[in-house]
Structure 1
């Protein structure tokens, strides 16, 4: 399967990397995420690690975006602390991103292989959460 890549939003990657460098401290916050809203704003967040399954940085950035009135995201990236670079979303985050923003692009890869791909490319044969949509009669 060939996946179409999109230009990488390097400003977005750097925003996440800056938050990872300056705000991720200790074991509670180890990942940063940045998302570009459809109006151009960049929203950032960090994960809230907890043994009970605290939210990933991507999930926190979705909530932070909504709290700021940004309900459509164009691109998202996660970056690890300790200079780990771009980290792909976990399975749960992939599914949530697909459900909330089916057209969102996700930055993945390392070094010269960093690329932005449609979230659907990260979940081939994905589950479609259709029961939350209201059908018009």
Structure 2
């Protein structure tokens, strides 16, 4: 697996950290996420914890971005409350982020190891469900048999 790293968007990390500090209160909201849209806007969200499996901050962010008309995201980061710092997306979020935005960059790591990596590097050999992912580079459908 070849991991390509990009410059880290520190403004995006700080936006998520600010939301984690100011909006994550109690046990229902413990994670914040921030994403940069292609037009430069930053969209933020918090998780909605529930014992039945409430959505992670990254998934809430997808709906928030769409509600604000930000349909193309370039980079995303999640930050934990209580100064936990950058937290990588869980497996479910990795799959959903890949399905929605196959070119997305995800900020992971801590301290001097902060880096932006492709969502495909975080979820190699992923499950393919969307028709647009079944096309080869020559735009010919792959055999599904």
**TM-score calculated relative to the size of structure 1:** 0.94
The corresponding residue for 1:40 is 40
- Note the C-alpha offset of 1:128: 1.4
The corresponding residue for 1:23 is 23
- Note the C-alpha offset of 1:2: 2.5
SS in 1 for 2:18: helix
After TM superposition, which residue ranges in structure 1, 4 or more long, deviate above 2 angstroms? 130-133
The corresponding residue for 2:9 is 9
1:115-130 equivalences in 2 (<5 Å): 115-130=115-130
Partner Cα separation in structure 1 for residue 130 and residue 49 of structure 2: 30
Larger Rg: 1 or 2? 2
Partner Cα separation in structure 1 for residue 13 and residue 6 of structure 2: 14
Partner Cα separation in structure 1 for residue 132 and residue 105 of structure 2: 22
5+ long unaligned stretches in structure 1: none
SS in 2 for 1:21: helix
Partner Cα separation in structure 1 for residue 52 and residue 95 of structure 2: 20
Partner Cα separation in structure 2 for residue 129 and residue 114 of structure 1: 31
The corresponding residue for 1:97 is 97
Aligned-residue CA RMSD (Å)? 1.4
The corresponding residue for 1:111 is 111
Alignment length (residue pairs): 134
Partner Cα separation in structure 1 for residue 18 and residue 106 of structure 2: 18
Deviates more, 1:123-132 or 1:40-49: 123-132
1:82-93 equivalences in 2 (<5 Å): 82-93=82-93
**TM-score calculated relative to the size of structure 2:** 0.89
- Note the C-alpha offset of 1:130: 2.4
